[in-house]
Amino acid sequence: MKKIESLIDFKADRKTIQKSAFNSIVIQIIFKMKGFITMPILTYYLAPKEMGIYNLIIVTASLLTPLFYMNLADGPVVYLVQEKSGKRIQDMYNTVVSSSLMFFTFFSIIFLFFVSQYSSTKYRYLYFVVPVIFSSIFYKLFSYIFAVFQKTSIVVKNTFFKDVFDAVLGILLVVLGFSYKGFIFANIISSIIGGIYIYRFARRDFPLRLFIDKKILLKFLKISLTLMPISFFSWIIHSSDSYFLLYFKGENSVGKYSIVYGLCNMILILTWALNFFWFPLSARLWIENKEKYRKFFVNIFTVFAVILMMGVLLFEFNSKFIMRFFARRLEYQDAYGIMGVIAFAFGMQVLITLLTAPLYSNKNTSLIFVSYVVGGFVNFVFNFLLIPSYGIWGATISTALSYGIVVILMSYFNYRIARFRFFDKRLVYITIIFAPIWLGITLLRSYVVFYQLLIVDIALLLLGGSLIYFKILNKEEKQYFFSLYKPSFRDNK
Confidence at residue 455, expressed as pLDDT on a 0 to 100 scale: 83
DSSP 1-22: -PPPPPTT----SHHHHHHHHH
Q: Is the pLDDT of residue 488 over 70?
A: no
Amino acid at 283: A
Give the side-chain half-sphere CA count within 13 A for 330: 0
Of 98, 100, 187, nearest to 137 by C-alpha is 100
* Percentage above 90 pLDDT, the chain: 26
Angle between helices 392-416 and 365-390 in degrees, nearest 10: 160
The answer for 419, left when phi > 0, alpha when psi is -120 to 50, beta otherwise, is left
Residue 176 falls inside a structural domain: yes
Whether the CB-CB separation of 366 and 298 falls below 8 Å is answered with no
What digits encode the pLDDT tens for the residues 90-104?
A: 888 899 999 999 999
Asked whether the predicted pLDDT for residue 491 surpasses 50, the reply is no
Nearest Cα to Cα of residue 271 among 343, 337, 339: 343
Q: With contact defined as beta carbons under 8 Å apart, do 151 and 7 qualify?
A: yes
* Number of structural domains in the chain: 1
Dihedral, 145, 135, 246, 393 alpha carbons, nearest 10: 30
Rounded mean pLDDT, 209-237: 85
Higher pLDDT, 277 or 331: 331
Apex CA 432: angle with CA 429 and CA 434, to 5°?
110
What average pLDDT score do residues 294-298 get?
Answer: 80
CA 483 to CA 468: how far, in whole Å? 17
Angstrom distance (rounded) from CA 314 to CA 487:
32
1 is a domain residue: no
Mean pLDDT of the chain: 82
As a whole number, mean pLDDT of residues 184-209 equals 90
Which of 73-77, 323-327, 332-336 shows the lowest mean pLDDT across its residues? 73-77
Confidence label for 473 from pLDDT (cuts 50, 70 and 90): low
Most confident range, picked from 48-62, 153-167, 349-363? 48-62
Give the span between the Cα atoms of 69 and 98, in whole angstroms: 10
Q: Which residues contact 23 (CB under 8 A, 6 or more apart)?
A: 152, 153, 155, 156, 276
Task: Inform me whether the pLDDT recorded for 492 exceeds 50.
Answer: no
Is residue 93 included in any domain, yes or no? yes
Q: Judge whether residue 117 has pLDDT over 80.
A: yes
d(CA 314, CA 181): 34
Question: Which of the four pLDDT bands, split at 50, 70 and 90, describes residue 68?
Answer: very high
489 part of a folded domain: no
* CA angle in degrees (0–180, nearest 5) for 59-155-146: 95
Helix/strand number for the chain, H first, E second = 19, 0
Cα 411 versus chain centre, distance? 20
Q: How far apart are CA 453 and CA 449, in angstroms?
A: 6
- Residue 307's pLDDT band (boundaries 50, 70, 90)? confident
pLDDT score of 477: 57
Is residue 491 assigned to a domain?
no
Model confidence at 484: pLDDT above 80: no
Per-residue 3-state assignment (H helix, E strand, C coil) for 433-484:
HHHHHHHHHHHHHHHCCHHHHHHHHHHHHHHHHHHHHHHHCCHHHHHHHHHC
The candidate with the shortest Cα–Cα distance to 286, out of 23, 484, 12, 86, is: 12
Residue 101 inside a domain? The answer is: yes
- Asked if residue 479 has pLDDT above 70, the reply is no
Whether residue 229 has pLDDT greater than 70:
yes
pLDDT level of residue 482 (50, 70, 90 thresholds): low
Q: Which domain holds residue 86?
A: 14-483
DSSP states of 172-216 as a string?
HHIIIIIHHHHHHHHHHHHHHHHHHHHHTTTTTTS-------HHH
CA 383, CA 308: separation in Å to the nearest integer?
A: 25
* Mean pLDDT along residues 352-378: 87
Q: With 80 as the cut, is the pLDDT of residue 489 above it?
A: no
Region 224-228: mean pLDDT is: 79
pLDDT, tens digit, for every residue of 429-439? Answer: 788 888 898 98
pTM confidence score: 0.73
Residue 3 lies in a domain: no
Q: Which of 18-22, 132-136, 217-221 has the lowest mean pLDDT?
A: 18-22
Examine residue 488 and state whether it is found in any structural domain, yes or no: no
CA distances, 40 to each of 37, 154, 167, 216 (Å): 7, 30, 12, 47
Long-range contacts of 296-301 (CB under 8 A, 24+ apart): 296/480, 297/354, 297/358, 297/420, 297/422, 298/422, 298/423, 298/424, 299/473, 299/477, 299/480, 299/481, 300/354, 301/351, 301/354, 301/422, 301/423, 301/424
**Whole-Å CA distances, 331 to 328, 339, 411:** 9, 16, 40
Cβ within 8 Å of residue 67, ≥6 positions away: 107, 228
